[in-house]
Amino acid sequence: MQSLPGCVSKGDMAYLTEHILLRHRDVPGIKTIDVYMAHGGYQALDKALNTLQPAQVTEMVKASGLRGRGGASFPTGLKWSFIPKDAPTTYVVVNADESEPGTFKDREIIEGNPHQLLEGTALCAYAIGACVAYIYGRGEFRTLFVDLQRAIDEAYQAGWLGQNIRGSNFSLDIHLHLGAGAYICGEETALLESLEGKLGMPRARPPFPTQYGLYGKPTVVNNVETLANVPPIVLHGPEWYRQFGTEQSPGVKIFCLSGCINRPGNYELSLGIPLRVLIEECGGGAPEGRAIKAILPSGASSHLLPGYNPELPLDYESLQAAGAPLGSASFIVLDETVDIPWAIAKVTHFFKHESCGKCTPCREGTYWLEDVYRRLLNGRAWPGDVELLLSIAEQMNGNCFCALGEFALCPVRSSIEHLRAEYEAHVPQGSR
Amino acid sequence: MTSQAFYEELQGVLKKYPVKQSAVLEALYILQRDKNYLSDEDIHTAAEALEMTVTEVQAIVGFYSLFRRQPTGKYLIQVCTDLPCALRGADAFYRRLCERLGLPPEGGTTADGLFTVEEVVCLAACDRAPVAQINLQYFEHLTDQAMDAVIARLREQG
Ligand SMILES: Cc1cc2nc3c(=O)[nH]c(=O)nc-3n(C[C@H](O)[C@H](O)[C@H](O)COP(=O)(O)O)c2cc1C
Ligand code: SF4
Ligand code: FES
């Protein structure tokens, strides 16, 4: 019998013996169904169909401690359990909108290991009684979705999708759906609106999608990476999964490393591993041995993490305690040569560009923030402009209709809080 | 494209959904695909096919950034200059590209109508900066030389 993927200790740290999500890095050709099946593929679905009740699948995912990898970190099994038991129609919607600056992990799963995503989607559908699933991809993923459709076709041919899968009474169709350029459609309720053919603007919550989702039906929306975790959890069991990560943040996570770093890329690690493993061992440090000034750990939507604490454990609780939640784990590294107001102006431009315009505090606030940043960088800052940024942020705070507006404030406020001198340096002499 | 070809292709899309309107983004994509922009007629075609009002379809077209109402160059070159790429030299790469194509620093369309160049936000390829999409196809780990080679090839194709 083949040994299961696990951890090996090196020094004081546990390293993965092989990838659990990015399996294409260990198994060439796993994007084709033959190779996937030769390496345990679709065995989890087979196990579920033959030996597990739908509720037991949900229980396993709950017991594994898996949390959503799309940014909000909500416990996945708990979300599935919110679907009403007697609902005649339910949906699974896979969030493949991946548009957060600094995030490129879902794309690698889709390109490299697509069947694991499809199998995870099927397991979710089985657990919640859905017979239709949609994968919503950002419009820019059109060429990737040609290959993903090919994987879906293979799965139908092999009998893992379609009517009465493997002779069971479980049937599932998976459809691909492409967006058309809008970051806000990554927000789950805006995504559902967009899938219904409407403007991608967020809905009021509650009701949450598990009650009132796609076409008004109970719907689970999960991120690509989240669902890719499900087949190994169901196949090897929650106890196996919990050997990775920490008590409160179990499992593995793909960290997207970008910016001022020698080896940018995706790195799949046990949660809780120290920051130095990601930055130094994986990323090879900043170019030319430069010092790291700050890190944005969840893309543009980050609170800035000042300095570099090599021992910081990369788990949800430790990052939260450090004031910068892990979110999607998109680590943008800023080294000593980076002008912080310039960097935050870039992300502010992003949010202004992507504000959907539904509510005034976000639409106007991001506009004014960008305007002040432009002035600051052009050397035309007015005295008090740093205070002005904070005051615009204060007026937006708590008043935006969805999380995008609040995200826009995080990098602005946290960077001023930690590195205010860099801002003041942009205010011309004499006018301070 | 002919309206018959459009309707035929749309049938396959409509099968995926319980309501017609869900197909609106794909319908507009199909209509825009061959000429890189949507005409008034296209918007009417989509509205009629999906039983939506023209105003509703116009709002959709205005909301989503991949839809265009103005003709662009035959090849739409979208270079990411968002933060992670900018930290790896994307801003300068973009300016040099514009300069070599004889365009102003903010981009635009070449005189022969072949190329439109513009800046876009993150394309989920930050580890392979500088990156661009040309008519939605990825080009990664770009250098000036690599980009010039691509442009030369497209020029040859016409
Ligand atoms: C503005 C905004 C953008 C988002 N973008 C994404 C995205 O691109 N991909 C994603 O999976 N989740 C995104 N989310 C989170 C989703 O709303 C939702 O929490 C997630 O898809 C749920 O899946 P999970 O529990 O598996 O993480 C975004 C949220 C907001 C507020
Ligand atoms: S906060 Fe911004 S993105 Fe969210 S609804 Fe308001 S305008 Fe739209
Ligand atoms: S920032 Fe350029 S692809 Fe992400």
Question: pLDDT, tens digit, for every residue of A160-210?
Answer: 999 999 999 999 999 999 999 999 999 999 999 999 999 999 999 999 999
Identify the CATH number of the domain in which residue A264 sits: 3.10.20.600
Centroid of chain to Cα A405 = 18
Residue A2 has pLDDT above 70, yes or no: no
Residue A254 has pLDDT above 50, yes or no: yes
Q: Is A430 within the bounds of a domain?
A: no
CATH among 3.40.50, 1.25.40, 1.20.120, 1.10.10 for B3-63: 1.10.10
Residues 6+ apart with CB under 8 A from A129: A54, A83, A87, A90
Q: Residue A263 belongs to what domain range?
A: 252-335
Residue A423 has pLDDT above 70, yes or no: yes
For residues A361 and A393, membership in a common domain is answered with: yes
For residues A288 and A360, membership in a common domain is answered with: no
For residues A233 and A321, membership in a common domain is answered with: no
Q: Tell me how far the alpha carbon of residue A326 lies from the centroid of ligand 1, in angstroms.
A: 13
Q: Are A102 and B28 within 8 A, CB to CB? A: no
Q: Cite the residue boundaries of each domain of chain B with CATH code 1.10.10.
A: 3-63
Whether B23 contacts B17, CB under 8 Å:
yes
Residue A11 has pLDDT above 80, yes or no: no
Residue A432 has pLDDT above 80, yes or no: no
Question: In this predicted structure, what is the pLDDT of residue B131?
Answer: 98
Residue A147 has pLDDT above 60, yes or no: yes
Q: Cite the residue boundaries of each domain of chain B with CATH code 3.40.30.10.
A: 75-157
Annotate B11-57 with DSSP letters as a single string: HHHHTT-SSGGGGHHHHHHHHHHTTSS--HHHHHHHHHHHT--HHHH
Question: Distance, in angstroms, between B116 CA and closest chain A CA?
Answer: 17
pTM: 0.97
For residues A31 and A142, membership in a common domain is answered with: yes
Distance CA A409, CA A36 (A): 43
For residues A165 and A308, membership in a common domain is answered with: no
Q: Is A246 within the bounds of a domain?
A: no
Question: In this predicted structure, what is the pLDDT of residue A13?
Answer: 66
For residues A303 and A345, membership in a common domain is answered with: no
For residues A185 and A209, membership in a common domain is answered with: yes
Ligand 1 neighbours by CB, cut-off 6 Å: A 68-72, 74, 95, 97-100, 184, 186-188, 221-223, 226, 402-404
For residues A188 and A169, membership in a common domain is answered with: yes
Atom of ligand 3 nearest to the CA of B128: 3
Bond before A206 cis per omega within 30 degrees: yes
**Among chain B residues, CA nearest to A96:** B124
Residue A1 has pLDDT above 80, yes or no: no
Residue B3 has pLDDT above 90, yes or no: no
Query: Residue range A147-156: average pLDDT?
Result: 98
Structure tokens at A120: 């995870």
- CATH architecture label of B75-157: 3-Layer(aba) Sandwich (3.40)
Residue A142 has its nearest CB partner, among B24, B125, B136, at B136
* Total of domains in chain A: 3
Identify the CATH number of the domain in which residue A143 sits: 3.40.50.11540
Q: What is the mean pLDDT of chain A?
A: 96
Question: In this predicted structure, what is the pLDDT of residue A430?
Answer: 55
Residue of B88, B94, B118, B123 best suited for mutating to test ligand 3, as the one with most atoms within 8 Å of CB = B123
Nearest CA among B33, B22, B101, B97 for reference residue B68: B33
Query: Of the bound ligands, which one is closest to the alpha carbon of residue A70?
Result: 1
Residue after which a domain boundary falls, among A304, A335, A366: A335
pLDDT tens string A346-384: 999 999 999 999 999 999 999 999 999 999 999 999 999
pLDDT tier at A315 (50, 70, 90 boundaries)? very high
For residues A320 and A225, membership in a common domain is answered with: no
Residues 6+ apart with CB under 8 A from A27: A35, A39
Question: In this predicted structure, what is the pLDDT of residue A422?
Answer: 97
Q: Is A375 within the bounds of a domain?
A: yes
Core vs surface per residue A166-191: b (16+ CB within 10 A) or e: eeeebebbbbbbbbbbbbbbbbbbbb
pLDDT tens string A400-415: 999 999 999 999 999 9
pLDDT tier at A322 (50, 70, 90 boundaries)? very high
Instruction: Judge residue B1's burial from the number of C-beta atoms within 10 Å of its C-beta, 0-12 exposed, 13-18 middle, 19 or more buried.
Output: middle
> In 10 A of CB A351, how many CB atoms?
26
Distance CA A179, CA A201 (A): 13
The residue assigned the tokens 């890329």 is A265
Residues on chain B touching A182 (C-beta within 8 angstroms): 63-65
Residue after which a domain boundary falls, among A312, A335, A358: A335
Bond before A297 cis per omega within 30 degrees: no
pLDDT tier at A3 (50, 70, 90 boundaries)? confident
For residues A108 and A216, membership in a common domain is answered with: yes
Task: Report the percent of chain A where pLDDT is more than 90.
Answer: 95
Question: In this predicted structure, what is the pLDDT of residue A170?
Answer: 98
Residue after which a domain boundary falls, among A287, A318, A335: A335
For residues A230 and A95, membership in a common domain is answered with: yes
In this structure, chain B runs to a length of 158
Distance CA A329, CA A299 (A): 8
State whether the beta carbon of A54 lies less than 6 angstroms from ligand 2: no
Identify the CATH number of the domain in which residue A348 sits: 1.20.1440.230
State whether the beta carbon of A402 lies less than 6 angstroms from ligand 2: yes
Distance CA B119, CA A84 (A): 45
Question: In this predicted structure, what is the pLDDT of residue A10?
Answer: 72
Distance CA B60, CA B25 (A): 8
Question: In this predicted structure, what is the pLDDT of residue B1?
Answer: 79
